[in-house]
């Protein structure tokens, strides 16, 4: 498969020929930052369009189909409307915390998004503690949600923020235990290394039953952590009007809205990287011709194809199951998912210690 590090090395060599190395590194960092932000926006637009079309399919209707071909320009119109709407200042609110909250949420989302390895040589933040950094950076988002509920000076927003905080903090535990199961199997927390260990088979296939259980638990916990249905009680319209962002308007509301959809893609991207081989193609033992054809498909095509397939699974989950009560949500986590995750982790340790894995 093609290694994009060759391209980045050539660009770096070209820049250092005409400028100081420090300036070259600065320009490269600036370019990567702009690229990440643009890709973030593009992913958000695709996710919103996909949500509307998938929702329409499950409800036996068409979805956006008037503005542009297949309704694709409808998203652009909605984005322009969001950018031009007035940002209303709430009386008796904590102005500083109220305005700070959406930027904390979007910052945490962008940091987590930057950890995703899109292809070989296209890793932006590829630390040797990559999974730890991603979990830590994504956890900052709950601070922004709590600040939004408190700073709005609205009881519905505060109730939604408290629900969201309890739910996100709880489900982070089972999601982390699921990822820890694969860390035990691979003996590394670096995303690129985890992907490379799957070049002879994805972990969902060769990681034994504990890897499959960890994958299922991670999908459930990840869906709950980004407040998606059936775990969308913090935004329950019938009870809390809109939850923690009830008092937000204009681009402030748009930041919450965009972060929610991209966080869903981040959950799918991490699941793709850790369990489904990341950018690695599908190889079947004994079919050399088939494997050679699969190798010709670029790595980023594999990554985004798998990630959007997982997104579709999560959307299927949302539009199939009814919304849970807050006690049911916390019971599912503390009485079922965490004990199963801990037992599953123990089984994976036994498999690794006694070398029972493939």
- Work out the number of other CB atoms within 10 angstroms of the CB of residue 354: 8
pLDDT band at 183 (very low <50, low <70, confident <90, very high): very high
Is residue 314 within 8 Å of 228, Cβ to Cβ? yes
* Res. 207 pLDDT band, cuts 50 70 90: confident
| pLDDT of amino acid 64 | 86
Q: Which of 76-85, 203-212, 232-241 has the lowest mean pLDDT?
A: 232-241
Q: Provide mean pLDDT across the span 27-42.
A: 91
Largest Cα separation within the chain, whole Å, is 69
Between the alpha carbon of residue 34 and those of residues 40, 110, 234, 301, the distances in Å are 10, 12, 32, 21
Q: What is the 3-state secondary structure (H, E, C) of 171-238?
A: HHHHHHHHHHHHHHHHCCCCHHHHHHCCCCCCHHHHCHHHHHHHHHHHHHHHHHHCCCCCCCHHHCHH
Q: Characterize 140-175 residue by residue with b for buried, 16 or more Cβ atoms within 10 angstroms of its Cβ, and e for exposed.
A: ebbebbbbbbbbbbbebbbbbbbbbbbbbebbbbbb
Task: Note the pLDDT of residue 241.
Answer: 65
Ranges 104-108, 227-231, 240-244, 346-350: which has the least confidence: 240-244
Query: What's the full length of the chain, in residues?
Result: 358
Quote the mean pLDDT of the chain.
87
Has residue 149 got a pLDDT over 70? yes
């Amino acid at each position: 498969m093609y290694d994009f590090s060759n391209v980045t090395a050539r660009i770096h060599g070209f820049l250092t020929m005409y400028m100081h190395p420090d300036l070259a590194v600065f320009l490269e960092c600036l370019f990567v930052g702009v690229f990440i932000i643009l890709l973030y926006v593009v992913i958000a637009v695709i996710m919103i369009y996909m949500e509307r079309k998938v929702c329409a399919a499950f409800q036996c209707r068409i979805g956006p189909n008037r503005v542009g071909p297949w309704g694709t320009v409808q998203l652009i119109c909605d984005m322009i409307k969001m950018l031009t709407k007035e940002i209303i200042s709430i009386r008796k609110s904590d102005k500083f915390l109220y305005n700070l909250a959406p930027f904390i949420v979007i910052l945490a989302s962008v940091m987590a998004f930057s950890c995703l390895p899109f292809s070989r040589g296209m890793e932006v933040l590829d630390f040797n503690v990559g999974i730890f950094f991603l979990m830590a950076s994504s956890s900052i988002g709950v601070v922004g949600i709590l600040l939004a509920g408190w700073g709005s000076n609205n009881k519905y927003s505060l109730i939604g923020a408290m629900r969201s905080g309890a739910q996100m903090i709880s489900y982070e535990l089972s999601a982390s235990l699921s990822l820890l199961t694969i860390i035990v199997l691979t003996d590394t927390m670096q995303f690129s290394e985890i992907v490379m260990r799957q070049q002879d088979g994805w972990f969902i296939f060769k990681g034994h039953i504990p890897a499959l259980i960890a994958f299922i638990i991670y999908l459930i916990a990840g869906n709950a952590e980004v407040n998606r249905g059936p775990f969308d009680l913090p935004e329950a319209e019938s009870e809390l009007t809109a939850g923690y962002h009830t008092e937000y308007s204009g681009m402030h509301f748009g930041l919450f809205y965009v972060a929610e959809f991209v966080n869903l893609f981040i959950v799918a991207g991490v699941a793709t990287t850790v369990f489904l081989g990341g950018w690695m193609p599908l190889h079947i033992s004994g079919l050399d011709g088939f494997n050679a054809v699969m190798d010709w498909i670029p790595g980023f095509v594999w990554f985004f194809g798998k990630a959007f397939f997982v997104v579709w699974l999560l959307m299927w989950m949302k539009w199939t199951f009814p919304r849970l009560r807050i006690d049911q949500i916390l019971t599912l986590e503390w009485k079922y998912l965490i004990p199963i995750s801990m037992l599953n982790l123990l089984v994976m340790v036994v498999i690794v210690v006694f070398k029972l894995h493939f």
